[in-house]
Amino acid sequence: MKEKIESNAFLTEAYGSYDDLLSFCKHLPKIELHAHLNGSISKETAIQLIDRKGDPSLAQRWASTLEGWANAASKLDDFFPLFKCIYEITNNEEAITYATIQTIGEFSDDGVTYLELRSTPRPNLGTGMTKASYANAILKGIQSASKSHPSTTVRLILSLDRRESTESCLDTVDLAIQLKNKTGLVVGIDLCGPPTDGTAVVFAPAIKRAKESGLKVTLHAAEIQNIDTDTQNLLLTSPDRIGHGTFLNTHAKTHLLTSSTPIEICLTSNVLCKTVETYAQHHLQGLLFQDHPVILCTDDKGVFGSSLSEEYAIAAATFQLRKEDLYELSRRAVEFVFGSEECKRTLRNEWERFRQNNGIGKWTGWNRGV
């Protein structure tokens, strides 16, 4: 269950109430850069997909898995069985496209102006789905959603799973390169999966090929304790961003601070996975006060039940961030998107219009009194 945000004197003075804060956060233009497609599928969309399949046993397994997860999840590894059930729901191209359209719509309704979805292309022998048809099904959904939700720009990151072989990772990168050249919608690759599986040696050739092709690279790094060697080896590949960065040792932290590598921050995900005990103990605070590049993200909004607006509101209530701070957080994220320079210029103009139209004052630095 998500940690409850209590009202406090700062929140009352700066916003009036938590509801007023959340309203501001929904109105604020936002950028989402760490959103796994399957984990972002809402319960409502999952139920619709199950109904479309007409399989009562699948509905029963879904309900049972959700109940077991809600009652027993206590660490990061406990969440992976839930994804296995989700993959049963999205095991064909039609389901993937539908899930993509619905998920984009939900992000758009939450005020997300630019979205980078990420997903590992998953072949399915039972349905005949291939890596290529999986990725193309997502792109079909993105193209369809661009008509129904034109205010949200969407790009795709193809993920490498740490359980894959070097050859499989290279296949995914080659697919990403092909689709990047064909559609312009694929902008990068990601490395994800159980953090103790695989080694950097397995993934390095694929990461190298991606970078040489012009694809951007983001890596899940330092998600759990006692993987310092893996983290250091991953950082040596010079990623454009990293996800989480929860347990960076001194050497890795120095590397990141020196290189100013942006970190994708997922507050609720970290708290629910017990890699961080409470919001107040989250490493976001230290990164802000070091003025290190960070981006607030949801990770898996469907699984963790937290929208991007809620993540902004949680950060504000926990670390005493004013409207100017939240605007600065969202504005800075523009510079870290994997989209083109033209895309960034368009986003910068949109943020400036919001600032002028909503009386956002001059930013004077992060509050250090927390």
Tokens of 214: 């012009």
Per-residue pLDDT at 70: 63
Surface-to-core class of residue 197, CB atoms within 10 Å of its CB (0-12 exposed, 13-18 middle, 19+ buried)? exposed
CB distance 2 to 303 below 8 Å:
no
Catalytic hit among 88, 223, 264, 328: 223
CA distance 4 to 273: 16
Please tell me the predicted confidence (pLDDT) of residue 163: 96
Q: What is the pLDDT averaged over residues 61-66?
A: 77
Report the C-alpha gap between 205 and 173 in whole angstroms: 10
pLDDT score of 81 more than 80 = no
In whole angstroms, how far apart are CA 138 and each of 92, 135, 145, 302? Answer: 11, 5, 10, 17
Annotated catalytic residue 223: yes
Question: Span 172-184, mean pLDDT?
Answer: 99
The pLDDT-based confidence of 317 (bands split at 50, 70, 90) is: very high
**What is the spatial distance between Cα 357 and Cα 275, in angstroms, rounded to a whole number?**
39
Of residues 65 and 325, more confidently modeled:
325
Of the candidate ranges 1-15, 189-203, 217-231, the one whose mean pLDDT is the lowest:
1-15
pLDDT digits (tens, 9 = 90+) for 138-168: 999 999 999 999 999 999 999 999 999 999 9
Confidence (pLDDT) at 370: 46
* Sequence-ordered list of residues with C-beta below 8 angstroms from that of 155, at least 6 positions apart, any chain: 114, 115, 116, 117, 142, 185, 186, 187, 337, 338, 339
pLDDT the model gives residue 64: 78
Please report the pLDDT score of residue 72 as a whole number.
Answer: 60
When pLDDT is cut at 50, 70 and 90, the band that residue 84 belongs to is confident
State the pLDDT at residue 69. 65
| CA 222/CA 229 separation, integer angstroms | 10
Which residue in this structure is represented by tokens 């109940």?
Answer: 67
- Measured from the Cβ of residue 281, the count of other Cβ atoms closer than 10 Å reads 12
End-to-end CA distance of the chain: 25
Position 235 confidence tier, pLDDT thresholds 50, 70, 90: very high
Mean pLDDT of 107-115: 99
- pLDDT reported for residue 309: 99
Predicted confidence at residue 367, as pLDDT, reads: 74
Cα diameter, the chain? 57
Distance CA 369, CA 351 (A): 28
Domain spanning 9-355, CATH class: alpha beta
C-alpha distances out from residue 171 to 168, 179, 183, Å: 5, 12, 18
CA–CA separation, 346 and 344 (whole Å): 5
Residue written as tokens 């984990």?
39
Percentage of the chain modeled with pLDDT above 90:
86
pLDDT of residue 55: 85
- 278-289 pLDDT, tens digit per residue, is 999 999 999 999
pLDDT given at position 105: 99
Percentage of the residues of the chain whose pLDDT score is greater than 70: 97
Cβ within 8 Å of residue 25, ≥6 positions away: 111, 309, 310, 312, 313, 316, 326
Q: What is the pLDDT of residues 28-53, one digit of tens each?
A: 999 999 999 999 999 899 999 999 98
